[in-house]
Structure 1
Amino acid sequence: MKLTALFCLAACAGIAHADTELVVATVNNGHMITMQKLGKFFEKDNPGVKLKWVTLEEGTLRQRVTTDIATKGGQFDVMTIGMYETPIWGKKGWLAEIKPDAKYDIDDMLPAMRQGLSVDGKLYAAPFYGESSMLMYRSDLVQKAGMQMPAHPTWTQIRDIAAKINDPAKGVYGICLRGKPGWGDNMAFLTTLVNSYGGQWFDMKWKPQLTTKPWKDAITFYVDLLKKYGPPGSSANSFNEILALYNEGKCGMWVDATIAASFITDPKQSKVADKVAFASAPVQVTAKGSNWLWAWALAVPASSTKKDAAEKFIKWATSKEYVNLVGKEVGWGSVPTGTRKSTYANAEFLKVAKFAEAEKAAIISANPKDSTLPKSPYVGVQFASIPEFQAIGIATGQQMSAALAGKVSVDKALELSQQAAEREMTKAGYYK
C-alpha cells in the first residue's frame, strides 16, 4: 500500500506539472529566439507552466496559424501574428481579448501600436516588437564614393548611390532588397515602393490597380535596380537572408524593417557595426506610404483551453519588465523596440542604440489611414486590411519574384497579378 501511495504521489505530481503546457507559435526572427531563451524566467515565476515552442519561417508561420485559427484547430495557445491579421480576426471573434491590468501600463504603449492591434477599443494582441521601415547604409562606402546621403532620399538618388558603391569583385553589392515571394515578404517592401510612386492596391470602387503606370514604373525600377546592383539570387531573399548578407559586409544599402538596426549595429553579429548609418525610407512621387507600419504581436486564439495562462505569458513577454530583462541578460542593444515609450526614454538603451531616433520617427510618421496619393478604400500601409488581401498578396508576390528572377516580363507579371486580384475581388463580391 505504501509503495502504491508513493507511486501515486510521484505520478500525480508529474501530471500536475504537465497539465499547463502552453504551445507558442512564433517566427524565427532574432527577438523571438531571445524570448525562447528567456522563457525559463517565466517558467520559474509560474511553477507548473511549461512553454512548448513551435518556431517557424515567416511564410510558414502565417500559413499554419491562419489555417489553425480559421478551422478552430486549437493547436496553439499563443500565436505570433501581426497588424494585418489582428483586426480581422478580432472582429470575427477568433481571438480572446487581452485585458491589461494597471501593472502592465498600457498607456506606455506607442499609440500607433495600440490602435493597430485593437478593434472597437479592445486589445486583441499585444505588441512584442514594433517596426516601420527605413534606409540602412554603409556610411564608409558612401563617403569613399564621394557622395552624401540625404536625410530623405529619393529612389533616383538611391539608384545613383548604388551604382557608385556597387563592387561585386570585392563582394559588395550596391543595394539589397527583399525578393522572396509573400504578402508579408517581398510585397511588404514593394507596396511601400509602389505607394511612393503614387500607386495603390485598389481604387475607391475596389478595382485592383496593378496594371497602372505607378505599378509599372515602380516594379520596372525595382527589377532593374536589383539586376544591376543587387546580390545574385535576390528573388529568394527575405529579411533573414539579407540580414546575414549585411552583417557580412556585402550590402551597401538596405531598405527594410527598422528592427534590423539592432542587429546590424551589434558588433557580436555584424562585421560592419561601426559603419552603419540611417536615413528615412526613400520617396519618389510622394512621401505617403513610403515606410510601413507593423507589429509582431502575441495573441490568444479563442480556441485555446488555457487562456488565463496564455494571457499571463503574453503580458510577461510584452511588458516593461521583459524589456529590462533582455537589457540585463542579453544587452541593451538587443531589446525588442517599437512598442513602448519607456524604451525610448531609457538611458541604458539610448547609450547603445544609435538607431533609436530614426526608428521612433519612422514609426510615428507611418499613417495606415492615409498611405496612398490617390484616395484608397482600405486601411494599411504595406497591406490592405481585408481578408482577401492575403491570397492577392501571395499571388502577386510570386509574380514579382518571377519577374526579378527573369522568368517573366514585368508587364506580364503585373497583368497576371491583376487577373488574380480581379478574380478574388469578384468572388468576394466587391464588384461585378
Structure 2
Amino acid sequence: MNMKLRSLMGACALTALAAPVMAETLTIATVNNGDMIRMQKMTKPFTDANPDIQLEWVTLEENVLRERVTTDIATNGGQYDVLTIGNYEVPIWAKQQWLTPLTDLPADYDADDLLPPVRAALSMDDQLFAVPFYAESAMVMYRKDLAEAAGVTIPDSPTWTDIKTAAEKMTDKSKEQYGICLRGKPGWGENMAFLSAMANSYGARWFDMDWKPQFDSAEWKEAFTDYLTMMQEYGPPGASSNGFNENLSLFQQGKCGIWIDATVAASFVSDPNESTVADKVGFAKFPNKEGVDNHGNWLWSWNLAIPASSQKQDAAKKFVAWATSKAYTEQVAAADGWRAAPPGTRTSLYENAEYQKDAPFAAMTLEAITVANTQKSSVQDVPYTGGQFVAIPEFQGIGTSVGQQFAAALAGQMSADDALAAAQSNVTREMTRARYIK
C-alpha cells in the first residue's frame, strides 16, 4: 500500500473516531391534555442529561390517539417508541405481548411509592407494563358563588337530585350561564366514560352474568333520561361535540355552574393563571342516586408504555422513567407550583404538606381513587372488571358505537328510548358475534 493511500485511510479513521455519536430520536405519541402539553415544555433537563436522545412528539386528540396507537401496535407497525395509553389497554396489550415489561427501572424510581390501585391496574403477574403519568377518579366541580346566589347547596356527597336541582337554579342562558356541563362527544373514553360511571351510580350495569347487554333495564333508562334532561335543559348548546377539553374551557371561562368530570381537572379550574373563576370553585364527590351505594367507580390513568416493536428500548426506558419520576414532579412544582403536579400516582405526593396546602382538592382526589372498585363497578353482579369501562378487547368498538347513539339523542336526532334500543340491539349482535353470548 503506498504512503498516500495509507495516509488517506488514517485520516478517514481519525475523522470517524472524532465524529459525534448520532442521536436516537424517540417518537412519542401522546394526548393533547394539559399535563401532557406541560411535559413537552419541560424536557430540557432530560435532553441535557441525555444528549444522545432527541424527542419527537405526536400530539393527538383523545379519540384519534387511541385509534392510531391501537392500529400501530396491533399491526406491529413500529411507528412509535413511547405510547400514551390508558389502564384499559395495558393489561389487554400486555397479554398479547405487545408491550415491553418495565423490569429494570432505575433504583431511585421507587415503584413502591405508586398508589396501590394505580400500580395494580398497570401490572400483570406483579410486573409493570406501563408507568403512570397521572391518574384520576371523577368529582363534582362547581361555582360556589353561583350556588349561593341561587340559594342551593351542593353537599360534599351529593345525590343526583341535588345536582339536578342546583343545575336548574344556576342556569341563566341569557347570560350564557349554563347550570351543568357534561361530556357529550361520542367515544368509549369520551361520553361513555362519563355515562358508564353515571349509570353505575344509578345501579345499572353493562352486562348481566351471561354477558347479555342491559340497556333495556330501568336503571339505564333512568340514568340516560336524567342525563338528557340536564344537558338539554340546563347545558350549553352543541354539547354533543363537547369532551373533556371543551368543557374545561367552558368552566374556566365562567360559563358552567357545575362540571362533573375527571379529578385531574381540579388543578386547571383552580389555577388563577388559567381560570377566571379559580377562587370560586368548590369540590364534591361524584354523585349517586338515592339508595344506591356507588359514587361512579371511576379509575383512569394516562400512562407511558413502550411497544415491543420499538427498536430504541433503552432510550425509551430512560424517558418513561424520567417523565413519571419524583424528580419530574418536583420540577413541575418548582416551575408552576405544587397545584400543577401530576396527580394521582404517588403516595409521597399526598403526604407532602406543601401539596396539601396548595391543592384543596387533594384529599378528595385521593379518597376517590382509593375507593374506586374496579373489580365490581356495579352494585349488581357483573362478569367484567373496569370502572367506567368494560375491560374486554371488544369494548373500544361497542363503547364507541353506543356513544354515537347517545350523542345523537343528545343532539335531538332520536329519543332516549330509541337510543337505548339501538344500543341494546347493536351490542347484543356484537357480543354474540364475539361468542360471549351463547
Alignment of 1:8-407 (within 5 A): 12-13=19-20, 16-18=21-23, 20-99=24-103, 100-284=105-289, 285-288=291-294, 290-407=296-413
Give 1:221 shift.
Answer: 0.8
Give, in whole Å, the separation in 2 of the partners of 1:25 and 1:11.
Answer: 34
Give, in whole Å, the separation in 2 of the partners of 1:112 and 1:234.
Answer: 32
Give, in whole Å, the separation in 1 of the partners of 2:144 and 2:71.
Answer: 44
- 268 and 33 in structure 1: CA distance in 2 versus 1, 3 angstrom threshold: same
Percent identity of paired positions between Structure 1 and Structure 2? 54
Which whole-Å deviations, capped at 9, do the CAs of 1:277-328 have from their partners, x for residues lacking one?
1000000042325140000000000111111111111111111111001111
Do the aligned partners of 1:22 and 1:77 also contact (CA within 8 Å) in 2? yes
TM-score w.r.t. structure 1 length?
0.96
- 11 and 386 in structure 1: CA distance in 2 versus 1, 3 angstrom threshold: farther
Flag structure 2 segments of 5+ consecutive residues without an equivalent. 1-7
Do the aligned partners of 2:297 and 2:374 also contact (CA within 8 Å) in 1? no
Do the aligned partners of 2:285 and 2:295 also contact (CA within 8 Å) in 1? no
Q: How many residues of Structure 1 are paired with residues of Structure 2 in the alignment?
A: 429
Helix, strand or coil: the match of 2:180?
coil
Higher mean displacement: 151-160 or 181-190: 151-160
Give, in whole Å, the separation in 2 of the partners of 1:233 and 1:145.
Answer: 25
Give, in whole Å, the separation in 1 of the partners of 2:414 and 2:422.
Answer: 10
Give 1:12 shift.
Answer: 4.3
Give 1:366 shift.
Answer: 0.6
- 5 and 268 in structure 1: CA distance in 2 versus 1, 3 angstrom threshold: same
Do the aligned partners of 1:289 and 1:367 also contact (CA within 8 Å) in 2? no
Which whole-Å deviations, capped at 9, do the CAs of 1:102-142 have from their partners, x for residues lacking one?
31111111001000111111111100000000000001111
What amino acid is the match of 1:64? R
Give, in whole Å, the separation in 2 of the partners of 1:330 and 1:49.
Answer: 26
Do the aligned partners of 2:297 and 2:377 also contact (CA within 8 Å) in 1? no
Select 1:419's aligned residue among 401, 418, 425: 425
Helix, strand or coil: the match of 2:22?
helix
Larger-gyration structure (1/2)? 2
Do the aligned partners of 1:288 and 1:370 also contact (CA within 8 Å) in 2? no
- 224 and 12 in structure 1: CA distance in 2 versus 1, 3 angstrom threshold: same
Do the aligned partners of 1:289 and 1:371 also contact (CA within 8 Å) in 2? no
Give, in whole Å, the separation in 2 of the partners of 1:369 and 1:71.
Answer: 30
Give, in whole Å, the separation in 1 of the partners of 2:432 and 2:355.
Answer: 50
Give, in whole Å, the separation in 2 of the partners of 1:60 and 1:125.
Answer: 20
Give, in whole Å, the separation in 1 of the partners of 2:257 and 2:186.
Answer: 23
Do the aligned partners of 1:289 and 1:381 also contact (CA within 8 Å) in 2? no
What amino acid is the match of 2:375? K
Give 1:11 shift.
Answer: 9.7
Give 1:331 shift.
Answer: 2.2
Higher mean displacement: 121-130 or 346-355: 346-355
Give 1:332 shift.
Answer: 1.6
Give, in whole Å, the separation in 1 of the partners of 2:12 and 2:333.
Answer: 47
Give 1:184 shift.
Answer: 0.3
What amino acid is the match of 2:229? D
Do the aligned partners of 2:106 and 2:321 also contact (CA within 8 Å) in 1? no
Higher mean displacement: 342-351 or 57-66: 342-351
What amino acid is the match of 2:35? H
Do the aligned partners of 2:26 and 2:53 also contact (CA within 8 Å) in 1? yes
Give, in whole Å, the separation in 2 of the partners of 1:306 and 1:76.
Answer: 10
Partner residue in 1 for 2:414 = 408
Do the aligned partners of 1:289 and 1:372 also contact (CA within 8 Å) in 2? no
What amino acid is the match of 1:372? S
RMSD over equivalenced CA pairs, Å:
1.7
Which whole-Å deviations, capped at 9, do the CAs of 1:19-70 have from their partners, x for residues lacking one?
x111110000010011111122211111210011000000000000000010
Which whole-Å deviations, capped at 9, do the CAs of 1:368-423 have from their partners, x for residues lacking one?
01210110000011001000111010000000100000011111111111122112
Helix, strand or coil: the match of 2:256?
coil
Give 1:101 shift.
Answer: 3.9
TM-score w.r.t. structure 2 length?
0.95
Give 1:146 shift.
Answer: 1.7
Give, in whole Å, the separation in 2 of the partners of 1:316 and 1:86.
Answer: 20
Flag structure 1 segments of 5+ consecutive residues without an equivalent. none
Give 1:334 shift.
Answer: 1.1
